Amino acid sequence: MSTPSPAAPDGAPTAGKSPEELVDEARRWWQTDIIDIHPGEIALRGYPIQDLIGNVGFVDTIWLMLRGELPAHAETALLEAALVASVDHGPQAPSIAIARMATTCGAPVNGAMASAINVLDDIHGGPGQQCMELYLEIDAELERLGDLEEATRVVLQRHRDEGVKYVPGFGHRFHPLDPRTPRLLSLVDEATADGTVNGRFARIGRAVEDAISEGKPRRIPMNVDGVTAVIYCELGFTPEMGRGVFILARSVGILSHAVEQMTQGGRIKGPIPKSIGYTYTGPARRSVPVSDDQTRRTS
């Protein structure tokens, strides 16, 4: 009886392949344009690491890793401004609070950071990405219609028809006007004036604010997610990259709060002090019903 040939994990037989072919297949299992490593050599996107160190900043390196080329200085400045704006928003932000609570439960710094980053999902961490997707959808509609106000109206109505009630990137539960927005928009306007960016996504963002504020007693202003979405779109980042760099920026705040809480100490701190009770909404105290059969069994 013949012995079956060994199989690769995906079920592909290895019989008939030479050792050289198997080595080549293993080498091609992971393919990357990002990093090239050999004994004594490291290159990022083709640049030797020793040439980057001391000559290229961290924000430039983020761009290089994500985009494949080094940015212009003005592009770096705009990206850095967006990152700085997203670093922290205090312990009332769930991600920051979770980092601190995890620390008081004994989690090490990596555990505290992972716990916090894991909640940066579609609601807490996703509006920036969703806003970028909205802007790109409006931009595509603008190409078709040729009128920004009409393109904005069409896309927003489409979202309403789909049951979407919340426009990501606008309004804020804490700030009547997000203090980060005017400054970042002014930097986008400056970058538009000097030709660093096109400015079309800043126009789209402002058009969305105008549209959703129409007929309201007060304006619904762009928040930090909306304005950083403008910046990331202007710089050519994809929506997925936009969320990723937001998480990268917020990780600095998460780390800072985790380390501070470790220094302050404290054990098992919950979301509110124990002196402040929560609201119970269940039934009043009641007796467990006892049937005749249950009475006989316990007698």
Tens digits of residue pLDDT in 55-113 = 999 999 999 999 999 999 999 999 999 999 999 999 989 999 999 999 999 999 999 99
pLDDT recorded at residue 155: 98
* pLDDT above 50 (res 4): no
d(C-alpha 125, C-alpha 183), whole Å: 22
| pLDDT number for residue 299 | 57
Residue 44 has pLDDT above 90, yes or no: yes
Angle ∠(58,243,160) on CA atoms, nearest 5: 155
Q: Which two tokens stand for residue 174?
A: 């804490």
pLDDT digits (tens, 9 = 90+) for 214-243: 999 999 999 999 999 999 999 999 999 999
List, in order, residues 6 or more apart from 235 with CB less than 8 Å away: 75, 78, 79, 197
d(CA 122, CA 109): 24
Nearby residues of 46 by Cβ (< 8 Å), 6 or more positions away: 36
- Domains with residue ranges and CATH for the chain: 33-71 (no CATH), 94-262 (1.10.230.10)
Q: Which two tokens stand for residue 79?
A: 């990206």
pLDDT at 5 over 50: no
pLDDT of residue 11: 53
pLDDT confidence bin for 177, thresholds 50/70/90: confident
Specify the long-range contacts of residues 263-266, CB closer than 8 Å, at least 24 apart: 266/104
What is the reported pLDDT for 13?
59
Helices 73-85 & 180-193 angle (0-180, nearest 10): 170
Q: Where are the beta strands (DSSP E) in the chain?
A: 35-38, 41-44, 47-48
Integer CA distances (angstroms), 149 to 46, 132, 160, 210, 258, in order? 44, 18, 17, 9, 45
- Residue 70: C-alpha distances to residues 37, 45, 57, 239 (Å): 20, 9, 10, 20
Average pLDDT over residues 190-206: 98
Q: How do residues 238-292 score in pLDDT, each as one tens digit?
A: 999 999 999 999 999 999 999 999 999 999 998 888 899 899 999 999 999 987 6
pLDDT band at 174 (very low <50, low <70, confident <90, very high): confident
Structure tokens, 241: 């990259």
Query: Which is more confident, 60 or 20?
Result: 60
